[in-house]
Amino acid sequence: MTAARLRPVTERASALSALTDAFAATAERHDRDASFPFENFRLLHERGLLGLTVPREFGGGGASLPETLEVVQAVARGEPATALVLVMQYLFHVAVPGRGIDPAVHRRIARDAVENGALVNALRVEPELGTPARGGLPATIARRTPEGWRISGHKLYSTGIPALIWLNVWGRTDEESPRTGGFLVHRDSPGIRVVETWDHLGLRASGSHDVILEDVLVPYDHTLDLRPPGEISPAFAVFAQWSAVLTAGIYDAVARAARDWLVGWAIERKPSNLGASLSTLPRFQEAIGAIDGLLLANRCLLDRAAQGGLDATEANLVKHLVTENAIQAVQRGLELSGNPGITRHNPLERHYRDVLCGRIHTPQSDAVLTAAGRTAFAAHSQQKELP
Using 50 as the pLDDT threshold, list the residues of the chain that sit under it.
Answer: 1-4
pLDDT digits (tens, 9 = 90+) for 167-205: 999 999 999 999 999 999 999 999 999 999 999 999 999
Tell me, what CATH number does 316's domain have? 1.20.140.10
> C-alpha angle 319/324/325, rounded to 5°?
100
- If asked whether residues 61 and 153 sit together in one domain, one would say no
Amino acid of residue 306: A
pLDDT at res. 230: 83
Q: What is the pLDDT of residue 234?
A: 83
Q: Is residue 140 part of a domain?
A: yes
**CB of 314 closer than 8 Å to CB of 321:** no
Instruction: Indicate whether 381 belongs to any domain.
Output: no
74 and 95 fall within a common domain: yes
In a domain, 384, yes or no: no
Bridge partners of 120, per DSSP, are 166
Residue 93 in contact with residue 53, Cβ under 8 Å? yes
Shared domain for 88 and 176, answered yes or no, is no
Which residues span the domain enclosing 39?
9-117
Q: Are 291 and 221 in contact (CB under 8 A)?
A: no
129 inside domain: yes
Looking at residue 7, what is its pLDDT?
60
Q: Report pLDDT digits (tens) over 298-346.
A: 999 999 999 998 999 999 999 999 999 999 999 999 999 999 999 999 9
Query: Is 157 found in the same domain as 58?
Result: no
pLDDT at 133: 66
CA–CA separation, 236 and 266 (whole Å)? 45
Res 4: pLDDT: 43
**pLDDT value at position 121?**
98
3-state DSSP of the chain: CCCCCCCCHHHHHHHHHHHHHHHHHHHHHHHHHCCCCHHHHHHHHHCCHHHCCCCHHHCCCCCCHHHHHHHHHHHHHHCHHHHHHHHHHHHHHHHHHHCCCCHHHHHHHHHHHHHHCCEEEEECCECCCECHHHCCCCCCEEEECCCCEEEEEEEEEECCCCCEEEEEEEEEECCCCCCEEEEEEECCCCCEEEECCCCCCCCHHHCCEEEEEEEEEECCCCEEEEECCCCCCCCHHHHHHHHHHHHHHHHHHHHHHHHHHHHHHHHHCCCCCCCCCHHHCHHHHHHHHHHHHHHHHHHHHHHHHHCCCCCHHHHHHHHHHHHHHHHHHHHHHHHHHCHHHHCCCCCHHHHHHHHHHHHCCCCCHHHHHHHHHHHHHHHHHHHHHCC
| 382 located within any domain | no
Question: 158 with 128, same domain?
Answer: yes
Question: Which distant-in-sequence residues (6+ apart) come within 8 Å of 70 by Cβ?
Answer: 12, 16
What is the rounded distance in angstroms from the CA atom of residue 293 to the CA atom of residue 255? 12
Instruction: Show which of 97, 117, 137 is a domain's final residue.
Output: 117
The confidence score (pLDDT) of residue 377 equals 95
**Pairing mode, strands 180-186 and 223-227:** antiparallel
Query: How many domains is the chain partitioned into structurally?
Result: 3
Q: Check whether residue 196 and residue 302 sit in a common domain.
A: no
